[in-house]
Amino acid sequence: MTTATRRRLHPAWWVAAVTFLALVGAAAFRAVPGVLIEPLQAEFGWSTSTISAAVGLNMALYGLTAPFAAALMERFGIRRVVVSALLVVAVGSGLTVFMTAPWQLVLCWGLLVGLGTGSMAMSLVATVTGRWFVARRGLVSGVLTAGGAAGQLVFLPVVATISAAHGWRPAALGTTAAALAVVPLVAWWLRDRPSDVGAVPYGGTAADEPPRSTGNAARTALAGLALAARTRVFWLLAAGFAICGATTNGLVQPHFIPAAHDHGMPVTTAASLLALVGLFDIAGTIASGWLTDRVDPRLLLLAYYSLRGLSLFLLPPLFGSDLQASMIAFIVFYGLDWVATVPPTLALCRQHFGARAPVVFGWVFASHQLGSAAAAYSAGVVRDVTGSYDGAWYGAALLCLVAAGLSIAIRRGRPAAAPVAEEAAAADAVVRG
């Protein structure tokens, strides 16, 4: 690329590209759980519910860390937080090769990787798009979201192949290497703000760059929750997004492969199907971002959740030892819909919470992961008790219809932003009790 071309390309696009790679690198280890449930059961004799408990903790921390990570990015900068998070992910995934007891699985797989990946979750997307973009925010949020979600799924056939050929430990170490490989790129290219490189946000002016925060990160995060929790919009978004997490990361991602294997499908085939979900997720989420810039986000969420619920109702009879066209059709649709909900949800946070949107969206995303954790564990229990995942699929389908109703119930318009003094007072009230 010539010097002239580099000058014509706004630095926001370089930041977005490195952020995309960071999200994909962090997602590598999140591809492991669904593939390694059976190898861990075979080696250690652990039950599905025991392994699901570690997966559930990972998902819960992945979400609960997000609002505090957003506040840390405000205080210390995006680059420092992302580099630290990638290193924590690498340590957590690397240590799993030494585990011999369930508590070690919970510590490495649940705690460390949950904290590390949570620090680069959707709060990173909200922070980068909020600081660096005015124009194309919906599109960029769609692309970055697709990177994080699709990365988990695209790695699945790689992890499954390595695990089948060489065992689960080399597969875990490979994901450690993927996280470490991104660290130099983040350290070199990722910048915190447009003003750091003498630029303005893409499509905006210097006035559009959010002010720097010098306050306590935990106080900022809790203040955002305190203010958002007073609004009906926040609870509608949080409840809907919890169901979103339950029906994707919590249910399909860790349990689709063992459910397919219950019906005679090879693990590598099922993993390839989830990778196909990841590929179509890229197209679906980018398209959703494009639509979010043009269509009422509430209507998009209504459509996404309703169609997702219908597809889950139709899923159980599609499982079998042979791969049928009907299962391919389900995979294609579910891929298009996988995290298409993120751009419109983020847009609604911006509409209703203004400059506080990254932290508020972090709390909304926390609900997404709490829903994921509950579904990951519950589906494992359903499988252990009934011998089948069918009850989990049908229950998730009903929840999607609830989420559709919650989404359309969100009112239009944007209320006036709370003044800075009110935010500071709320922060003090939260921290001091």
The pLDDT tens digits of the residues spanning 99-126 come to 888 888 888 888 888 888 888 877 788 7
The structural domains of the chain, ordered by start, are: 9-193+213-412 (1.20.1250.20)
Please provide the distance, in angstroms rounded to a whole number, between the alpha carbons at the two ends of the chain. Answer: 55
Quick check: pTM over 0.75? Answer: no
Q: What would the pLDDT profile of 254-278 be if each residue is shown by its tens digit?
A: 889 889 989 988 888 888 888 788 7
Task: Provide the pLDDT confidence category of residue 217 given band limits of 50, 70 and 90.
Answer: low
- Model pLDDT, residue 423: 40
Q: What is the rounded CA–CA span in Å between residue 119 and residue 112?
A: 11
Structure tokens at 80: 């420092």
Rounded to an integer, what is the distance from CA 168 to the centroid of its chain? 24
Q: For the chain, what is the mean pLDDT?
A: 82
Task: Provide the pLDDT confidence category of residue 7 given band limits of 50, 70 and 90.
Answer: low
Using the structure block, give the residue that is written with the tokens 């949020």: 141
Q: What is the rounded CA–CA span in Å between residue 332 and residue 312?
A: 13
The strand pairing partners of 133, in sequence order, are 202
Q: What is the rounded CA–CA span in Å between residue 369 and residue 59?
A: 5
Q: What would the pLDDT profile of 316-358 be if each residue is shown by its tens digit?
A: 999 988 888 899 999 999 989 988 998 899 899 988 988 788 7
- R_g of the chain, CA atoms, integer Å: 21
